[in-house]
Structure formats: C-alpha cells, structure tokens
Chains A and B, each alone.
Chain A
Amino acid sequence: MHIMVVLRLVADLGGDIEIAHGGKDIDREWVDLKLNEFDDHALEEAIFLKEIVGAKVTAIMIDGDGVERSLQTALARGADEARRIAVDDTDGPISSRAMTPVVAAAAAELGADLVLTGVQSPEDIFGQLAPSLGAVLGWPQASAVSSVKPDDGSTITVQQEYSGGVSAAIRLPLPAVLGVQTASRPIRYVTGSKLRQAMAEEIPRIEATAAVAMPDVEIVELRVPDEAGGAVMLDGDADAIADEILRLLADRALLQVC
C-alpha cells in the first residue's frame, strides 16, 4: 500500500489573526502558521497503518513558506518520502478546492493507492479537499474518518463518525481518498534527535503537472463576527469572578444537589 498524505499549513488559531489591509484576507506577513490539525491526524493515521501492516508513506505539500520544515518533521515522524509541489500560481493562498487538480495529479504520478488528508481546514470555505479529490480522481472517498483498517490488501474498512455518538463502518476498495478527523491513536511527537536528523534532509521539489483551478467565487470581505448578543463579561480577579458565578448559580437554584 502506498499512502500519500496531503498536508497544509494554516493560520494558528491559538495565535493572533489580523485582517490584512484591503479586508479580504488575513495578514499573512505576521500570522503564525502551523500544520492543519486534521492533517496532523491524517499523517498519524498513515504512520500507524505503516506500523501495523507495512505501507509506504509519502507526505506532500504545495510549496511555500515553512513547507520544507513541515515535511522534514513528517519524515522524522515516520513518513518514508516527502515532496514539495511547485505551482506557478503563487499569488496568495491556494484554497483546498483550487489545489485539487494539482494534488490529484500528484497522487496519480506517485502511484498512491490511498490518499489521506484532514477532513477540513480553517480556510476551506470553497470546498473540502478529500471529497473534491475523490471526485477528480474518480475514487471512492469518506470524510470524518476516525480509524482505517486494512482488510485483505485490496480493501480497507473505515469508521465514519456521525453526530450523537453514532458511527458506521464502510468498506472501500483501493484506491480511495479519506478525510481524516481523528487518528486511531493520539498524535506522537518526535524526539529532538530524530528531528535534527530529518532537518538535514533536503525535500525534493517537483513541478505540478496540473494547473490550479478555481471556480468563479471570491471573498469580498473578511471581518470579525458581530459580538452583539454575546456574553455578559464577569470582571475582576479570580475571587471576584468566583463570587459572581456562585451568585448566578444560586439565583438559578443550580447549587442544590439534584
């Protein structure tokens, strides 16, 4: 099995996110980038599969700032190979929808028979990557996947999560595309020595063989949501806030043992 994992760098939601001049994008000059959380799970699941049944894992990213280091980290975590994919259209961020043909072409060229990526990203408002890829490649796909089990080598059984604690097992033939929500195990972080070793590796940069393609849709304004109707703020130090919360609970008879 050859697993291709598609990784994306996105704004760190734990840091400050400012709106850029012009009001249509975030200020990418100052924003902290981190690996998309769900892509991190996709990578973990790929390495997990490699460990339990043997598989080749290739991590790919559309080339850009911070990409080489992210792919070196993927190697340190257990990926066998990594590729940076160079695209011509580097004017601004490339949405998941727009990168779909590029990634699909890479899957075909690398000979991948399973593509894993995160179920969503904080920026994919024009479409999520996994189902878009499945449609372009003509491969079956499933989103919101929480575990992948290889069957006999030609099929896999995935767990797909629904709301209300409900999930279903779906069997898919390879090749297939999965949007991973949660890896089968918590994400493992690598040791410093492995990381240092991987930092010496140069990540091959290959030219995209398909063009970025974006339908006619655009962000005309990016803004902070209207806070009207938001919370009453409790001010003061921890003791003052604790007093206030106790009063709120007492007023609503929520301190009585039920």
Chain B
Amino acid sequence: MKDVLVYIELIEDGVRPSSREAVSAGREIASATGGSVIALIASGEPVGVPTLDGVDRIIHVTHPALGAYTAEAHAAVLADMIAKLDPAAVMLAYTTAGLDLASAVAVTASLPLVAYCTDVTVADGALTTTSQMYGGRLEAVVRAPLPVVVSIMPGAFPEAVTTGASPEIIVQDAPKSLDALRSVFVDEQRPARGSFDLSLAERIVCIGRGIGAADSIAVARELADALNAEIAGSRPVIDQGWLEKERQVGKSGRLVKPRLYIGLGVSGAPEHLEGMRSSDLIIAVNSDAAAPIFTVAHYAAVCDMFDLVPALIERLKAGTP
C-alpha cells in the first residue's frame, strides 16, 4: 500500500488538463509514501495511450461500455482497480466524472474521501489536505489516514511534468460487471459549430446573484454594450432563466479567458472561479467584502453595483476616461 492511483479522464483531444493536475498532486503523495504513480485510463477502443507526463505506469482498460462515459461503467473499473492494487491514495479531479466516481468508489472500497482539495501533504502515514468549504469562503485542514480517496480542485495544482522515463503501459482486462451494465449512454450534445461561443469573447461583463431581478439586467447590458463586451452570467442567473445557458461562465458553463472580465454581484463560488480565473484583467464589484471572487480579482470594489454601473456608463458614453 504505497502506490498512488490516478483516474484519467479522456476528452476529444487527449487528456483533460485537470487529470494532469491530479497526477501532480498524486506525485506529491507518492514521493512521501515511496510508491509509484499509476494512471488508470479506461477507453472504449484499444486506442493509442495519450502522452501522460509524471506517471510511472499506465494501466489501460478497454471495453465497449467505456467509450462513452457513464458513471456505472467507470466506477466499476476504478473500484476493481482499487481492489487489485490496494493503493495508498486514489486521485480524481473535481469534474462531473470526479463527482460521480470519487464518492462512489470511496463507499464501495470503504475508504475515507476528502474532496475540494487545494493542497495535499503526507506525513506519518496520514494525509493532510486543505479543502474548500462554504463556497470558498472558508477552507478546512483535513486529516485522513491512508488509504484515502482524494478529489482535487481544478486549477489548484500545476499539470504534471515528465519524470524523464517513459511510463510502462499495462493492458488489463475489464471487470466482468461491464457486460451487465444498467446505465446506457444515449447521445451527447455539444454547442453547434458556428454558434455563439462565449469562450471567444475578448471582453465580458458577468452578472451574478447580486443582480437581484431580471429587470435589473438591462443596466448591465448597457454597460456591456458601452464596453463592446458580451454579457454573461453565473449559474444562479442562468438557473433563473434570466440569460441563455450559452452565456454561463463556470464549471457547468463555459471556461473563459477574456482580456477583460468585469464581475457584477458575482460572489465567486469555486465552480465559477474555475471558469474565469485565467482572465487577463478581472475587476470584481460586490457589496459583500467577504466575496470569494476578490481572491482571484486583480481589482475589486466593495460597493453597490447599481450606483457604480450608471457612473461607468456615463463616463464611457462621454468618451473620455
């Protein structure tokens, strides 16, 4: 029980970046336990294994049921591998698959789980993590004995770098349970090619829960127009039906990296920050001085957006800063 097992998520063009971050978090644990970092890749076809830096071994399991993702199939493979390898830690990134799988395999294997981790260290046979809680307003220092399942926050760790040696690739049989799955993948929906793509916007004015009411969006739109920016919203705004889903910034919306992001009444839940923290210039306006968005903003103002936005529009229309 020294090795670290990392669940790797495949996407259209290779490996999901947050899985590479999970490898690097796993490497920190393996260096303390003296074990290897083992990546688990589950795919539908016996396709070529993508390049994966920072791992010592890649276990590749293929089965037709693993091609299109279902929680049931991937949890079965991961749980099977945990039983076979008895790893010191099982690493996943906090994505939809990470949400599905981490808790499920922790229960199946009777292991503790620590989620939303932004830091991991191992000493004296125990894992200590820093984990986000309460929408990022607080963080918990958590201690868990090994073995443990660890779910990491995307963006909290660097992507793994090469160890110099090529990983050994081991092809393993899929567990028999994959022949009798109950969940069925039906189809996938992707934004249509050529449709509006918020991730291409150079300037974004993003509104959050603080906008309060659908009627209030007009003033934010006016600011967006004056800045030649796209209007966008955080999840609560989209859930209310106040803006179209294609304008959602965050984990379940679009990941954006504009030259300018202005957040109005956006508190900055971790899932939102994941979607915009790489923006070149982030200006956040919130009436709550404890809003987590201030931790990633470059400039921030604690004030009422309904006072500030008209003042900005007035100046932009006057044409002189």
Contact = CB atoms under 8 A, between A and B. Distances in A.
B133 A13 contact: no
B140 A222 contact: yes
A239 B311 contact: yes
A234 B315 contact: no
Contact of A258 (B209, B228, B245, B252): B228
B113 A182 contact: no
Contacts of B227: 249, 254-255
B80 to A, nearest CB: 14
B301 A123 contact: no
A242 B95 contact: no
Q: Is the interface of B mostly helix, strand, loop or mixed?
A: mixed
Interface in A189-206: none
A132 B321 contact: no
Interface stretch (B23-31, B45-53, B68-76): B68-76
Contacts of B86: none
- Which of B69, B101, B110, B137 has the most C-beta atoms of chain A within 10 angstroms of its own C-beta? B137
Contact of B138 (A17, A159, A166, A172): A17
A131 B71 contact: yes
A144 interface: yes
A11 B112 contact: no
B138 A19 contact: yes
- Which of A120, A237, A245 has the most C-beta atoms of chain B within 10 angstroms of its own C-beta? A245
A119 B239 CA distance: 14
Nearest to A234: B301
Nearest to B187: A169
A255 B316 contact: yes
B255 A163 contact: yes
A120 B135 CA distance: 11
Contacts of B203: 254, 258
B295 A132 contact: no
B186 interface: yes
B169 interface: no
Contacts of B122: none
Interface residues of A, number: 91
B140 A238 contact: no
A161 B141 contact: no
Contacts of A17: 134, 137-138
Given A218-B142, A223-B138, A231-B299, A163 B96 contact: yes
A58 interface: no
Contacts of B253: 163, 165
Interface string A220-254: 11111101011111110111011111111110101
B308 A165 contact: no
B216 interface: no
B163 interface: no
A161 B99 CA distance: 11
Interface in A95-143: 97, 100, 119-120, 122-132, 134-136, 140-143
Interface in A159-179: 159-173, 179
- Which of A166, A187, A244 has the most C-beta atoms of chain B within 10 angstroms of its own C-beta? A166
A167 B107 contact: no
Contact of A223 (B111, B139, B187, B292): B139
Contact of B142 (A122, A169, A187, A220): A220
B188 interface: yes
A140 B71 contact: yes
A93 B116 CA distance: 19
A209 interface: no
Contacts of B185: 168-171
Contact of B184 (A126, A163, A170, A229): A170
Contact of B297 (A135, A164, A218, A231): A231
B96 A143 contact: yes
B219 interface: no
B138 A218 contact: no
A144 B71 CA distance: 11
Contact of A13 (B68, B100, B135, B285): B135
Nearest to B306: A238
A165 B315 contact: no
Interface of A: 11, 13-14, 17, 19, 26, 37, 41, 97, 100, 119-120, 122-132, 134-136, 140-144, 146, 157, 159-173, 179, 181-183, 186-187, 215-225, 227, 229-235, 237-239, 241-250, 252, 254-255, 257-258
26 contacts: A11-B134, A17-B137, A127-B107, A128-B103, A131-B71, A132-B103, A132-B106, A135-B107, A142-B71, A143-B99, A162-B95, A163-B275, A168-B189, A217-B114, A222-B139, A223-B139, A224-B138, A224-B139, A225-B139, A225-B295, A230-B295, A242-B311, A242-B314, A252-B259, A254-B259, A257-B228
Given A142-B100, A170-B183, A230-B297, 11 more contacts: A13-B134, A37-B236, A97-B103, A97-B107, A169-B188, A186-B240, A217-B145, A219-B140, A235-B301, A249-B260, A255-B316
Query: Ordered nearest first, which 6 A-B pairs have the shortest CB separation?
Result: A231-B300, A215-B112, A242-B311, A135-B107, A238-B307, A169-B186
